[in-house]
Amino acid sequence: MIVKKTMTMSEKILARASQKHNVQAGEVVWSKVNVLMTHDPCSPGVISIFKKEFGNQAKIWDPEGHIMIPDHFVFTSDEKANANIRMMRDFAQEQGHKYFYDPHSKDYKGVCHIALAQEGHNRPGEVLVGTDSHTVTSGAFGTFAIGVGNTDAAFILGTGEILLRVPDTIKVIFHGRLGSNIMAKDLILLLLKDLTTQGATYQSIEFTGETIDNMTIEDRMTLCNMVIEAGAKNGIIIPNDSTIEYINARSNIRDFDIIAPDQSAHYTKVLEYDVTNIQPQIAKPHSPDNVDSIDNLEGEKIDRAYIGSCTGGKSSDFYAAAKILKNHKVSIDTFGVPATREVFYEIINQKIGDLSVYEILVNAGVNMTTEPSCAACCGGPIDTFGRVNNAMSVISTTNRNFSGRMGAKSAKIYLGSPYSVASTAITGYITNPKVFLKN
């Protein structure tokens, strides 16, 4: 007789993927992989290992399952960076890839984690693996999404499988109505403050609660994106109706299943937050868990503002920044990098009043690029747009603020929501966005 155990979302997905009736935390399973994503920093290494272990003439397990997305070091004269993309292009032609988003073609997208969503590669109940730690972003779609190294990715490339230890799960409940100056970024920073960078190591974080129920898919992506900063294996959310509508508009695949946890599933920890009265949160240098309320940091001088990345470069992020910046001018250097081409086109067409979001940002003095990429979020070559090349204080919508993360090791990086970053860009000092949202 088969005894059915109660399971969390991640356990249920891994049970299905490993063709088991049930699994439990700590169990090691062979899991089928639905989607493998590799980007330009890692694809060459993955390809080299694949050819070494499976043979130079070997074919990958699924030409439609391997998604290659250059995004990190794309718009640069750096020869090594460009060589990486050439290697990806050659491999895609050799293997007959359906999804290689070449930056030298109309197919180019931008930041991989946003492109995966926009191109319909994120589906509930599936296993998605990527060679980037922020692959966890896709958990917003009810997907078991994790980052891995080159060796694991190469093995998946040849077999379509991965050996995984089933993670424990932390349940995080957000309830209450968000204040007008609060965004999803504030919630994940608040959680990081409590968990710290080691508080969820190799655990799944399952988000739930009425606040989550009412969130847009892009807000959910912001939450899941930064669970890795707590050491989590993955973040995951039950898809709501708007999430399913988003997926159906972008994917022809309909045979996915929405997975929900069992009511009596076991969690290692349950954290509950009433968001009604929280204030904007800021991560101070040099760690994303070094978090404080913005009210305790007001008046801190800032030299540069940056709006972009998989965390803070989505359409809704630029819309939020434009709400603050409309009829104002920035007083410090401010850079804007749309995460993808779709984001760029959306902010050109989306209006606040009689002006587009893009027009508002440019009129305010934001230095906007037309070339979507990771850009300065991860530093990059010296000619990277927005890169921090000397000692300064920067406030950014990105997800990491370790020393040297955006370039110069001497720089101090603060992390905040698009509201907080835009408000600070106007004054030149860390500023609570409520000042500009009164009307």
> What is the pLDDT, as a whole number, of residue 4?
59
Cβ proximity of 341 and 71 under 8 Å: no
Whole-angstrom distance, CA of residue 329 vs CA of residue 20:
58
The CA R_g of the chain, rounded to the nearest whole Å, is: 21
pTM: 0.96
Residue 110: CB partners within 8 Å, gap ≥ 6? Answer: 71, 338, 339, 340, 341, 342, 343, 372, 373
pLDDT of residue 1: 35
Tokens of 341: 């081409």
Pair 197, 346 in one domain: no
Domain membership flag for residue 259:
no
Do the bridges between strand 333-337 and strand 304-308 make them parallel or antiparallel, or are there none, so unpaired?
parallel
What does the alpha-carbon distance between residue 165 and residue 27 come to, in Å, rounded to a whole number? Answer: 6
Q: Is residue 198, in this structure, part of any structural domain at all?
A: yes
Instruction: Check whether residue 250 and residue 289 sit in a common domain.
Output: no
Domain-ending residue, one of 271, 306, 340: 271
Q: Which two tokens stand for residue 309?
A: 């990345």
First and final C-alpha spacing in the chain: 64
- Mind listing the pLDDT tens digit for each residue in 384-398? 999 999 999 999 999
64 and 213 inside one domain: yes
The dihedral built from the CA positions of residue 98, 103, 105 and 107, taken in this order, carries a sign that is positive
The answer on 197 and 123 residing in a single domain is: yes
Whether 187 is covered by a domain: the verdict is yes
Q: What pLDDT is attached to residue 351?
A: 98
- Strand-strand pairing, 127-130 and 35-39: parallel
pLDDT, position 253: 83
What pLDDT shows up at residue 296? 98
Q: Are 243 and 311 within one domain?
A: no
One pLDDT digit (tens) per residue for the chain, 439 residues: 344 589 999 999 999 999 999 999 999 999 999 999 999 999 999 999 999 999 999 999 999 999 999 999 888 888 998 999 999 999 999 999 999 999 999 999 999 999 999 999 999 999 999 999 999 999 999 999 999 999 999 999 999 999 999 999 999 999 999 999 999 999 999 999 999 999 999 999 999 999 999 999 999 999 999 999 999 999 999 999 999 999 999 988 888 999 999 999 999 999 999 999 999 999 999 999 999 999 999 999 999 999 999 999 999 999 999 999 999 999 999 999 999 999 999 999 999 999 999 999 999 999 999 999 999 999 989 999 999 999 999 999 999 999 999 999 999 999 999 999 999 999 999 999 999 997 5
- Residue 134, helix vs strand vs coil: helix
pLDDT the model gives residue 439: 54
Establish if 71 belongs to a structural domain.
yes
Residues 212, 318 within the same domain: no
Note the pLDDT of residue 283. 99
Close Cβ partners of 413 (under 8 Å, ≥ 6 residues apart): 285, 286, 388, 394, 395, 396, 398, 401, 402, 405, 406
Do 181 and 324 belong to one domain? Answer: no
Q: Are residues 236 and 375 in the same domain?
A: no
Same domain, 319 and 385: yes
DSSP 279: P
Contact 158, 242 (CB under 8 A): no
Q: What distance lies between CA 113 and its chain's CA centroid?
A: 6
Give me the CATH number covering residue 419.
3.30.499.10
In this structure, is residue 209 part of a structural domain? Answer: yes
Residue 1 lies in a domain: no
Domain limits for position 209:
9-254+264-271
Residues contacting residue 86 through CB under 8 Å, at least 6 positions apart: none
SS3 at position 75? coil
Strand-pair category, 355-356 with 351-352:
antiparallel
Residue 348 neighbours by CB under 8 Å, 6+ apart: 356, 357, 358
Give residues with Cβ within 8 angstroms of 288, minimum separation 6.
Answer: 189, 192, 197, 226, 229, 399, 400, 401, 415
- Count CA atoms closer than 13 A to 95's CA, side-chain side: 27
Q: Does one domain contain both 55 and 121?
A: yes
Asked if 113 and 237 sit in the same domain, the reply is: yes
Q: What is the pLDDT of residue 254?
A: 82
Residue 377 domain-assigned (yes or no): yes
Our count of domains for the chain comes to 2
Q: Residue 398: inside a domain, yes or no? A: yes
Question: Strands (DSSP E) along 304-391, which ranges?
Answer: 304-308, 333-337, 351-352, 355-356, 367-368
244 and 335 housed in the same domain: no
